[in-house]
Structure 1
Amino acid sequence: MQCTNYVTLNLPQHPSFNPAVIATKLQQLLNNPDQLQAILGVLPASLPQDPLPPSLSLQQAAERMHRAFLVNGAWKHGTAYKNRSQLQQIIDLLGKDRAVSSLSLQDLTKLKESLEFKKKNTLELLPPDSPLLTKISPDDVICGETIHRYFNLLKKFITFCDESKWLPRRLPLHEVMLPGLSTTESHYRTFTPPELEGIFSSRIYTTNANEKFKWTPFSYCFWLPLLGFFTGARPGELCQLYAGDIFTVDDIPVIRITNEGPEQRLKNRFSARDIPIHPKLVEIGFLDFVEMRRNEGGRYRPLFPELPYDRKHGFARTASRWFSGQGAKDHGYLTACGLYKGEGACLYSFRHTFVHMLRNKLGVQEMMIKKLIGHGTKDDVTIKYGGHFALPLRMEKIAQINPDVDLSHVSWEKYQQLQRRKPHCHKEKRKPPVSRPR
């Protein structure tokens, strides 16, 4: 049995090159094993490879990744802070002084095993062989969604190192996987009608002006649950609103979600949108509240000047802590509503409730829902045909939202009476915005 190998040669054009002669000489050489072996014996065993650049440490590579993703806009400020903290925990687990070139699939496995015991509200990942792991209750471990976020962050880091030519070879990341998340699993609770009843029948909405009360009636305490339920906007989007972000288009009052004001942000380019204002918000007094703020300071008067700003969390952190609490002992406003910390109830839950009502109660099509809540529609080609859901159509859908809860007692005018009894609720926490033309 004869084994034949075919060799293709690319020869430069030259008058002295005769391809037929070269082929004959090459075949003669191949037919003489002794002569061929003598020639091959003087050749190097392998071709020289380009040397790898001096290897960075994992810590140096992580810092470069954070800066690169921040500069090119892949991570916004809030996301960048969270990812930097989580990536630092991963680097500390793997060894921050290790060379990047030593990364392997075993690191993914090590992180996977550590995440199974990752305790909530901690900034540390324990090694899989740590004796402290036995003391951690399964009820105290982070949820599946957070586990996937950590795991995928390490994969993203390894990919970044590979694309930066810091790894000697590409790692088959697909070989180490996590179990898939349940399609019904959500980090946030969707409020039921009885829970909404508890929220909108709580002290914020039922305390009379002649009663004694110790809590501070900030404006955001009254408006954020209502706005969250009737607009589906993210808490961060609502907390950063200015008086000029509320106006009328074709006789329809709208809230404009934008990043055009001082310190305003958008989660992504799809987040910019106009949300029609539900008639119930108008009835309760939202437009009167906006007009009051506009009279106080014009277009760039914050709706909630009592909310402080920080670069990491924007304006929403104080409001979120008020509602959901902070730490094990502070359960926030949830307890007054019959809810408890740790069950997924937070200001973001109003957004989930809004989507649930549109989808499951009103049967609104998915593309309309995405348009109303600021999700991308780039993967749906048909969205480009026939306009982008005209404002009157969006208003029609918004107006159909009904909490199935009696809100006749909810009144901004009554709430202002409580505020007059606690003047410190008007104390401003924001710095004056940069002067802009009105």
Structure 2
Amino acid sequence: MSQSQKVEAAYAIARDVFAAAGIDTAVALDRLDTIPISMHCWQGDDVRGFENPAGQLTGGIQVSGNYPGRAGTPSELRADLDFAMAQIPGQKRLNLHAIYLESDTPVARDAIESRHFQNWVDWARKSQIGLDFNPTCFSHPLSADGLTLSHPDKAVRDFWISHCKASRKVSEYFGKELGTPSVMNIWVPDGMKDLPADRFAPRERLAQSLDAIIAEPISRDFHKDAVESKLFGIGAESYTVGSSEFCMGYATSRNILLCLDAGHFHPTEVVSDKLSSVLQFVDEVLLHVSRPVRWDSDHVVLFDDELQAIANELIRGDILGKVNIGLDFFDASINRVAAWVIGTRNMRKALLRALLEPVARLKKAEGERDFTTRLAMMEEAKSMPWSAVWDFYCLSRNVPVGIAWLDEVKNYERNVLSKRKAA
């Protein structure tokens, strides 16, 4: 029996098991196909971009490791993305930062235009994916003291306001050209290493700057604004201007998206528990799925309890239409392409498991106050043969089954990545 036949036979058994629980696996797989996951470009080159690839990261961002094969050009990065996406089933998007522009001459950040990203748009159209965007408010001389949109110097604030305004026009262009709205996320590194004497004024300035940025209306058919909070960062250990409370209040009062990053909260807080709360007050959420290890260290996403809890909330709450799923990690200690594949496949695995839960029966038991049945079914669902459904999903979508993708990545490393110049 061939591997394909084994996968199909295992799936046939799993399909019947789930059918007995009232779950149609074919419907689940069709729905899974339609859920886009926005992969992040900065995993492929350690957040260097192409504005000044030799520049030093600032803003509390550090990338550990120097695994060989880093993408050094836009063409190399797109080739790596193409290869990674070929190992991952389901609908995908790409999330770009402003520093990934392409130009033969230097471009100031407040002067970026859609033409500087035309190659990305052409690539995305050919790949049949959407693009998302981010202004880059770090790794720049005017962010060197840790303040940007909340800076006391109006000239500094105005520069970053102009950069974010220009970024909105780029994002709008993405949406118009590709037929799917671009989510543009504003995150700033603003904060202080030691205790501030004035916590109020920087937050007042940040709110005013953000108001100036989003003042021009742009149709949500093309562009969506989001703001992202932070707990702390390197150099901002004692005070973060754009705190969770600030961003939640701002998003709610201005009717824009709130970005929830899995690594931007206290160690005992989890994003999975926040979704049902914030969506009572904001229309839409942007998720940055990451993995903090004791702090916001952006490790490769694991198939762990919190990832599954996030996916469960999306399905149980029927909120997929209100949540934009994106990834945010950067690990230079391992093969960068493999990191993309591992993290993105894990996100989709978690979504599949959530789709294969007997949600209607769970809610019925809960509504009848039958908590015994609810707990029993939740626990039983964990050991149902979802992995056989996953293998069939990969097989039927022409991507590697199981860990077979690793052989493909190793071959790509030998034939492509190993031939690149060292960073």
**TM bracket, shorter-chain basis:** under 0.3
Look at both structures and tell me which one has the larger radius of gyration over its CA atoms: 1
TM-score by length of 1: 0.19
TM-score by length of 2: 0.19
